[in-house]
Chain A
Amino acid sequence: MITVGVRASRARRAAPRALLLILTLLLAASVPAFGKHTPATAADSTNGGEVTLRVGIQQEFDSLNPFLGFSLASTDVFRLIYPTLTTYSAEDFSVVPELATDWESSADKLTWTFHIRQGVNWSDGRPVTAHDVAYTFKRMMDDPAAATANGNYVDNFDSVTAPDDRTVVIRTESPQATMRSIAAPIVPRHVWSRIDNVAEFANQRMPIVGSGPFVATEYRPQQHLTLRANEDFWRGAPTVDRLRFVNFENSDAAVQALRKGEIDVVRDLTPTQFDALRGTEDIRRVRGKGRRFFEIVLNPGAANSAGDPIGTGHPALQDARVRRAIDRAIDRERLVQRVLSGYGTVGAGYLPPIFEDFYWTPPPEARRPFSIEAVNRALNEAGYPRGPEGVRRGPSGRVLDFEFVLHGDSPTDALVGKFVKEWLSRLGIRVRLQPVSDNQVNQRTTAGDFDMVVSGWSVNPDPDYVLRLQTCGARPKPGGGGLPDSFLCDRRYDELYARQLAEFDHTQRVELIRKAQRRFHRMATGLILFYPNALEAYRSDRFEGFESQPSDGGVITAQQGYWGYYEARPTEQARTASGGAGYRSAAFVVVGALLLGAVVVASTAARRRRTAEHRE
């Protein structure tokens, strides 16, 4: 056997060598950090005086084909590279001309004529004409694949024609107030008429022929999409030279990239991340109103479009008095404070306050303020007495015991569920929380297999779509399918919905939409709890500001339009500074120190090894 002395000397040698190995590996790979080209710093965004706006996104582009892409990331890009007939103003979401300079509808409200702007060119130099518009809509009407993403815009179209280069005439089957806000991207006919199979066309050949303020020039899936400014854009070239969307799979990494200056803008921040950025040098935070509402649906007795009952809803919830009682037992102020850290608005009406004209809050006599005592009294009077153990029973004797379906991966849902369960238990109503996958939430909602379920939608500037979700027509067909939300099927609501769709006068239509919301609130099948804020942050050393939408308390990314990216204002520093110099010299110091350390360790180790071998 060997002696203890030799063992010890080996041990001394082993540790430094391990260290040496790790140091060498680290060094080898950090070489580019102090090389001539400094990739991951602010320097790369300033190339010969060019300014790149880099936006971190946490969603992938599902498709760059405007007929197929559904994801928010993709539709955001389509707004930048393809024209639309009209767009929404940055100030207040009012409909403003884009490719169409003006439009009129016929006396019978069925024929719409759009006049197309002259002098607008595709990025390959060809002019944009009415034929491109007619081609796009017709393709969506005739080719099922082309109707994939935006087919709902042409559902009610009877015919589309282009009598000349500058006029598009659309005839609809019934009057449709939403004709002014057709957000479907218009594509160049000379490119797309050569595509036989839209369903399998990825549209990844760069540059993509478009005519928006930006042109897509480089795409690496799951990494980034780069666009350059369209110098020929009819409104004038954008202020930045390039725009880049950088994919992050993890929002914490996106926030760190912002701190470090690898990206300029980050969106979809959580309240915690937003708070953590408070007071950070060179970072400005944007707290914008959100387009989403957060809703709890109470199953009012789900039925399919033939009127046959489906699902497993509790009979007590078919009583509107019970639904309204539950509404009063939810302390929304508390939820906004505890669940959203205050970053949200207390809800009541269906549409969020970001859309000022449609926003409705219940008048004093219709309000349902939080009060456990009042609700307890109301339920006693309504014939739901407490049984043994203090749990209430319905007229049929069935215990009020509700299944509350939640999105299992959502912390918001989990917290809301916890609070609601506690409040309802004080009413003598038992709640069983059922956190399940997103897919199961969808499946159970459509099948009516729930008593309570979390729901929520992003609202467009034209609220027609979300309003339609609450009509009888939204209920699933007997064979399945359909897109129900709260299974409300109310004659008066449907009537108001139909009237707003046929009302072309904006003021009148707003009035009808507010009435529809009042009816929805009265029926209490969907309880709107709150409207979360959209939280964003940007590098204020590189950008002075962005056009927000709406101008009062709006957002700068993912707008209904291209304003934020189009009118980004770079700072003088972003235009001139090489940026990242400080970082680079610091890197030199650290790398130098590491290098020195490595040399010392290596030589010591080598010497020890030599002497050790001599000893043996």
Chain B
Amino acid sequence: MTDTREELETRGPTNGPPPLLRFVAAKIGGGVVSLFLVAVLGFFLFRVLPGDPARTMTRSTPVSAEQLAALRHRFGLDQPLYLQFRDFLLNLLHGDLGTSYIYNRPVAELILERIGPTVLLGGTATVAAVLVGLWMGTRAAWRQGGPVDRWFTSVGLTLWSVPTFWLGLLLLMAFGVGVGPLPGLFPVAGMSSPDVPAGVVARVLDVAHHLVLPCLTLVAVIYAQFMMVMRTSLLEEMGAEYLTTARAKGLREDLVRRRHAVPNALLPTVTLIFLHLGLVVAGAITVETVFSWPGLGLLTYEALRVPDLPLLQGTFIVLAGSVIVMNVLAELIYRFLDPRVRES
């Protein structure tokens, strides 16, 4: 890291477009190339999966061999692989992700329908986990080895290592159904109740009500990583001389931490946050299953079972795409957050 920076710093002014623009263009270009490679990889990857989509889909209904052959023909599975690949690429260039085998609907439409709930759940949980994690990490590092540090670290790591599925079910039992005198406070499944009266406020409250348990589960499991990274990077700053200087100026401990130590410790955490944001779309699959949250994770799971190739390819592109986009964003934002990188 430092080496690259020094290298950049020593480079003299060059001709052509301004360096910032070039930097941004290069990053975005790289992202687009990665996305394309992902799409190609996805096509072949899922075709290696064993199984016959037509047969798996029709398991619960009596069908004749002719019906199965007709299904395969409609899916284009009776064509040679290179023709299937050509069609796939042509459609992709037109922005067409194909039609789902199971649902007989355009893949793009299905993904759009389900990406909202997933982003809502994953986004809320990530924001909450980041806030809780950073706050706890700061406290823990500031009093390294103290009771707060020991508590936060051990609770955080315990939750981090607990299976998500199990924790979700426990929370569902405790707060969804109720234990002993505690009544069930939250719904056990779904994203909304069917009979909520009209009105935006009622609907928003209803969704928020459904969101609590899945969100709590997700936060409990993921906040520890933000906490630990924040704690570690703050510990690295703890002995720094600028903190002594700040204290010598007579600043309160609170302010020393908030204005001097935390901003410097935040940088590695930002990288982690953006990497994690990319996974928001993919990461909630277990929680979605426990709480029957109608999101993208479940859609992918259903698609994988058949395998519904167009749907799998579509979700794969979207999941990988979000990671790539977030990575590009992280690199761009890092530049603005860290003055040393910006100046280069």
Nearest-neighbour CB distance to chain A for B10, whole angstroms, equals 39
Q: Are A260 and B62 in contact (CB under 8 A)?
A: no
Cross-chain contact B66 with A465 (CB below 8 angstroms): no
Within 8 Å CB of B206, what residues of A? 32, 39
User: Which residues of chain A come closer than 8 Å to B57, judged between CB atoms?
Assistant: 62, 70
Q: Mark A15-40, 1 if CB is under 8 A from B, else 0.
A: 10010010001101111110101011
Q: Is B93 an interface residue (CB 8 A)?
A: no
Question: Is the Cβ of A483 less than 8 Å from the Cβ of B65?
Answer: yes
Q: Which of B99-107, B313-321, B324-332 contacts A (4 or more CB under 8 A)?
A: B99-107
Identify B148's interface contact among A11, A248, A465, CB under 8 A: A11
Encoded as 1 (CB less than 8 Å from any A CB) or 0, chain B from 293 to 332 comes to 0100011001001010000000000000000000000000
Cβ-based interface call for A124 (8 A): no
B70 touches A247 (CB 8 A): no
A418 contacts partner chain B, Cβ-Cβ < 8 Å:
no
Picked from A7, A32, A40, A68, the residue with its CB within 8 Å of the CB of B143 is A7
The answer to whether residues A68 and B69 also contact, given A37-B202, A440-B51 and a CB cut-off of 8 A, is no
Contacts of B291 in A (CB 8 A): 250, 253
A482 to B69, CA, bound (A): 9
The closest CB in chain B to the CB of A583 belongs to: B183
Q: How far is the CA of A483 from the CA of B54 in the complex (A)?
A: 11
The listed residue with most B CB atoms (<10 A of its CB), out of A29, A256, A587, is A29
Cross-chain contact B247 with A2 (CB below 8 angstroms): yes
Nearest Cβ on chain A to B313's Cβ, whole angstroms: 17
| B104 engages A199 (CB within 8 Å) | yes
Residues in B whose Cβ lies below 8 Å from that of A345: none
A8: chain B residues at CB < 8 Å are 146
Q: In the complex, which of the residues A30, A68, A246, A465 contacts B209, with contact meaning CB atoms closer than 8 Å? A: A30
Q: Does A14 contact B (CB under 8 A)?
A: yes
Whether the pair B70, A75 counts as a contact (CB closer than 8 A) is no
Given that A29-B211, A40-B187 are known contacts, is A149 also in contact with B61, CB under 8 Å in the complex?
Answer: yes
Q: How far is A474 from B106 in the complex, measured between Cα atoms in Å?
A: 33
Per the bound structure, the CA–CA distance linking A226 and B194 in Å amounts to 8
Shortest Cβ distance from B151 into A: residue = A15
| B residues near A246, Cβ cutoff 8 Å | 189-190
**Nearest-Cβ distance from residue A31 to partner chain B, whole angstroms:** 6
B99 touches A155 (CB 8 A): no
Chain A residues, CB < 8 A from B307: 439
A164 is an interface residue with CB less than 8 A from chain B: no
Within 8 A of A (CB), among B172-212: 172-173, 176-178, 181-197, 202, 205-206, 208-212
Confirm or deny: A579 has a beta carbon within 8 angstroms of a beta carbon on chain B. no
A37, B196: Cβ atoms closer than 8 Å: yes
> Known contacts A39-B187, A249-B298: does B105 contact A202 (CB below 8 Å)?
yes
Q: Which of B65, B143, B172 has the most CB of A within 10 A?
A: B65
Do the beta carbons of B185 and A260 come within 8 Å of each other? no
Chain B residues in 8 Å Cβ range of A299? none
Assembly CA distance A465 to B61 (angstroms): 10
With A31-B205, A44-B195 in contact, is A249–B74 under 8 Å at CB?
no
Which residues of A72-90 have CB atoms within 8 Å of chain B's CB atoms? 72, 75
Contact of A63 with B by CB under 8 A: yes
In the assembled complex, which residues on chain B have CB atoms less than 8 Å from the CB atom of A200?
99, 104-106
Tell whether A65 pairs with B104 under 8 Å between CB atoms, given A18-B136, A256-B177. yes
Query: Do A247 and B190 touch across chains, with their CB atoms under 8 A apart?
Result: yes
Q: How far is the CB of B273 from chain A (nearest CB, A)?
A: 19
Q: Are A442 and B196 in contact (CB under 8 A)?
A: no
Considering the complex, which residues of chain B in the window 90-146 have a beta carbon less than 8 Å from any beta carbon of chain A?
99, 102-106, 113-114, 128, 132, 135-136, 139, 142-143, 146
Which residue from chain B places its CB closest to the CB of A585 in the assembled complex? B183
* B67 lies within 8 A of chain A by Cβ: yes
CA A35 – CA B183 in complex, angstroms?
15
Interface centre among A15, A250, A443, A465 (most CB of B within 10 A): A250
Contact of A40 with B209 in the complex, beta carbons under 8 Å: yes
B: which residues have CB within 8 A of A? 49-52, 55-74, 99, 102-106, 113-114, 128, 132, 135-136, 139, 142-143, 146-148, 151, 169, 172-173, 176-178, 181-197, 202, 205-206, 208-212, 247, 252-253, 288-292, 294, 298-299, 302, 305, 307
User: With contacts A32-B205, A616-B253 known, what are 7 further pairs, Cβ within 8 A?
Assistant: A44-B195, A62-B57, A70-B57, A200-B104, A253-B292, A481-B68, A586-B183
Binding site for B on A (CB under 8 A): 2, 6-8, 10-11, 14-15, 18, 21, 25-26, 28-33, 35, 37, 39-40, 44-45, 47, 60, 62-63, 65, 68, 70-72, 75, 144-145, 147-149, 151-152, 155, 199-202, 218, 220-224, 226, 244, 246-250, 252-254, 256-257, 259-260, 262, 437-440, 442-443, 446, 458, 460, 465, 474, 477, 481-483, 583, 586-587, 590-591, 613, 616
Please list 22 pairs of residues, one from A and one from B, whose beta carbons are closer than 8 Å in the complex, sorted by A's number: A10-B139, A30-B186, A30-B209, A30-B212, A31-B205, A32-B208, A32-B209, A39-B193, A40-B187, A44-B195, A202-B105, A223-B191, A248-B292, A250-B292, A253-B176, A256-B177, A257-B189, A438-B305, A440-B51, A460-B62, A481-B65, A583-B184
